[in-house]
Structure 1
Amino acid sequence: MSREILTVVETVSNEKGLNPEDIFEAIEEALVVSTKKRVYTEQPEVAVRVEIDRDTGDYDTYRYWTVVADEDHEMPACQLAISDLDENEWSIGDIKEEQIESIEFGRIAATQAKQVIIQKIREAERALTADAFEPRIGEMMYGEVKKQTRDGYIIDLGDNAEGYLSRDQMLPREQLRVKSRINAILYHVNRDNRGAQLLLSRTSPDMLIALMNKEVPEINEQIIEIRDVARQPGVRAKISVKTNDHRIDPVGACIGMRGTRIQAVQSELDGERIDVIVWSDDPAQYIISALEPADVSSIILDEDAKTADIIFTANDQLARAIGAQGQNVRLASELTGYKLNMMLEAEYLERQQNETKAYIELFYNRLEVDEDLAQALVDVGFTSIEEVAYVPAETFYDIEGLDDDAIEMIQERAKEVVIADELVKQQNMKEPSEELLTMDGMTTDWAYKLAQRDIITLDDLAEQAVFDLEDIEGLDEKIAGELIMKARESWFNEE
């Protein structure tokens, strides 16, 4: 039997390219399973190990017990209480074992070993595939449609590798035929031992980048850089480019003579319309370019908040900027990273007037200044009491008729208002209960934000729905659901 084990190890190792040690471990595992089934049928929790001599193929079998504290002694079949042993010789966590008679490596054990070995072969093959393809994530793969499944297609990538293209990673209305050849991006390698391993996509922005690399030599040669991509797969895309050689027009190079280059990309993407624009490090200019072909009248940026008000003088330009079903502005926003607020000039002026009126009333009522001074503060650019209180005094010098004493009085009054508001806020702040503060998964910040919504106790939290909480910063749908279910445990415990 020892020679048979060595023969199995050598044969499988040579045929499948597996590490002999992995095969020895598989046979040991199979012998353990067979021993427990044959010898300890009534005690499946018994702990057994088999040790094979790697040189001779001989093997020994051992039954073992783990030494545990008396209060943890719950499984006598594989545990020994420390009080039953010499405490000078044994410690908790030690393993006590005794050799038992080994079963033969017969048909049952061999069958079991075969199953384990097959599983290890599959695992090893998947590991090799993962090692080979993980460095290629983001690369475009070319393969043949091998088979259609319920939810997608299996793609033969050659060299015994298969990719999986699910329907949600395909272009809308796209139909593939078996034996047809396609391009797709490798976007994920699954190392788990279940499910498709090489996951492909035709909707990823990387797909458009790879196709542009293929069709535009200047991109491949890094004369032109692709900076940002936004896609509505199969419908429309925007791609921004930058030239590293000012003699070359990046947009013209990407489009090609008579549009041949961009048409080749569009054809591969089922007619997806592609807008190529020039990237700019000036956010305003970049946004204006991204909204083409609309004619922007003016733009007001908030670079900290990453928002922009885009103003148009005519309805038709506003409609063109928004695009069909909001497509153009949505892609422009995704491309530039700015939230874009589109409006007509009249609407913007009305909003400005309303904001100005609100600020004047704020300063008039809270700072107790006259309307002219309130108007002057707004004209200088103040929009809050905090700004008035803490900006340098020089900021007020543009307001006619204000001397240093008047400026100091205004700022002192503003500081009094800010401090008074803070005291009121603190007095009105509600305290979360201790049980809410200390529950598993809860943070102090979340607990106080919940308390401001009158969610003080665990019962209050348990009565909430997920959508009641998901607007709290840091609390996504998953975490909110987990906290609510944790709070509801008290109800079940009471029952």
Structure 2
Amino acid sequence: MQTAFSAAVNQLCDEKNIDKNEVIDMIKAAIRAAYRKDYGNKEQNIDVDLDNESGNTIVYVVKKVVKKVEDPELEMTVAEAKKYKKDPKIDDEVKFDVTPVGYGRIAAQSAKQVILQRVQEAERELMYKLFKDRENELINAVVHRVDGTNVYISLDGKLTTGLPYDQQIPGEKYTNGQRIKLYLDKVIKTSKGPQLLISRTHPNLVRKLMELEVPEIKSGLVEIKGISRDPGTRCKISVSSNDPKIDPIGSCVGQKGVRVKSVMYDLHGERLDIILWSADLESYIKAALSPAKISQINIDDANRRATVYVATDQRPLAIGKQGQNVKLASELVGIEIDIKDIAEITPKVEVDEKKVLPNIAEIGLDPAIVAKLAAANLSLTEQIKGLGEKDLMGVPEISAEDAKQIIEALKNVK
């Protein structure tokens, strides 16, 4: 019949998935530490016999037989050793019972905290070994417990860990027993033990779900080039085909949208926009900003920036609700995108302004011509403005050639 001690050990092993021998070793180590603290000292060599079924404990002090004792805590003479062992010899180890009366209950209380700590350490080490090789993979999980924003996840039915609030999909409600898929980003060792970095918001969660649903992606015929997410709301995925006979978008969407709908279901209804990747940056930007229709794109390669011009009625579509569409497109393409109205493009018209020069001497005429006009009391441009060639030739000393020069110079005068 199974004793209470044996039942407790077996239950602990089952719950924490720890080897029974490892638990027994933990208990022995805890009892040794408790004895040294309560009855002995740190220098003593303590051994513990523990009955795996009943839990009965016997504590021994172990000493070495020597000719001359230098350390009484670890050594004894042959004469002393004869009290505990028949015919002892030099270098023999002798152990004798030092179990205090009623020590079982005292030891259990003293060792409890140590055992719990060791169990936690063993559980963390087990977690590290189990999941280290599964980094960057999809993990099936079950919601173990929900306490406000704290969600505790059971991974593969073996380990329970917390799903950080910032890694939860906004607006998603979790219930006990709910099955969800998680992305295991990394397994790292911290001062508190190994830690699993799991996420429901990581872009690679979408990548792994697409690989699961689309065989062409898993086989490499269709390639996911980029992913940008606003978790729980919208996600843009760019794809390309390595086989000219395969339509990458059609492969991802599936017949009647069955494939993409399955991924959306796993992402709490997150909308997926699947677009065709292009090596031509302008074409890629146009696809990334869909469903908006683009009128013109100016790309500044040096500053990794693009200015996109759209019609007035297309601007809300291009920007999206709270700037979501342009933000996701920028992340997907890898450059900053500015949306502007096509009406903002105005051709530059260069107009040569006519100079206001009231004096004839300032309009660039030959000084001799200016002198001839001055002799006729004509010194201001207003006096001769509007006169024709024949009129000017009526001025004394002004020839036909002089008249032509005057008319040409007046063209630049307001």
Distance 2:327 2:206 in 1: 18
User: AA paired with 2:270?
Assistant: E
Match of 1:316 among 297, 313, 317: 313
Distance 1:201 1:51 in 2: 48
Question: Which residues in structure 2 correspond to 1:453-464 (within 5 Å)?
Answer: none
Partner of 1:327: 324
Bigger strand share: 2
Match of 2:22 among 11, 18, 31: 18
Distance 2:250 2:116 in 1: 56
Distance 2:155 2:185 in 1: 14
Kindly, what percent of the aligned residue pairs are identical? 38
Question: Which residues in structure 2 correspond to 1:206-355 (within 5 Å)?
Answer: 206-312=204-310, 314-347=311-344, 349=346
Partner of 2:199: 201
Distance 1:345 1:161 in 2: 57
Q: Which runs of 5+ in 2 are unaligned?
A: 1-11, 50-58, 65-69, 76-96, 351-414
Q: Deviations over 1:169-214 (max 9, x none)?
A: 3333222332232222233546457599545422221221122112
Query: Is the 2:45–2:74 contact (alpha carbons within 8 Å) kept by the matching residues of 1?
Result: no
- 1:171 maps onto 2:175 in alignment: no
Partner of 1:154: 152
Aligned residues: 295
Cα RMSD, aligned residues only: 3.8
Bigger helix share: 1
Query: Is the 1:28–1:50 contact (alpha carbons within 8 Å) kept by the matching residues of 2?
Result: no
Distance 1:98 1:303 in 2: 79
1:303–1:99 Cα change, 3 Å:
farther
1:287–1:177 Cα change, 3 Å:
same
1:142–1:346 Cα change, 3 Å:
same
Query: Is the 2:305–2:337 contact (alpha carbons within 8 Å) kept by the matching residues of 1?
Result: yes
User: AA paired with 2:281?
Assistant: P
Partner of 1:115: 113
Distance 2:187 2:228 in 1: 24
Distance 1:173 1:50 in 2: 59
Q: Which runs of 5+ in 1 are unaligned?
A: 1-11, 40-47, 62-96, 357-495
Q: Deviations over 1:378-398 (max 9, x none)?
A: xxxxxxxxxxxxxxxxxxxxx
Larger Rg computed on CA atoms: 2
Alpha-carbon deviation of 1:320?
A: 1.6
1:149–1:105 Cα change, 3 Å:
farther
Alpha-carbon deviation of 1:235?
A: 1.0
Alpha-carbon deviation of 1:18?
A: 2.4
> Given the two structures, how large is their TM-score scaled by the length of structure 2?
0.61
Query: Is the 1:18–1:121 contact (alpha carbons within 8 Å) kept by the matching residues of 2?
Result: no
Query: Is the 1:226–1:239 contact (alpha carbons within 8 Å) kept by the matching residues of 2?
Result: yes
Alpha-carbon deviation of 1:58?
A: 4.0
Distance 1:21 1:181 in 2: 36
Question: Which residues in structure 2 correspond to 1:388-399 (within 5 Å)?
Answer: none
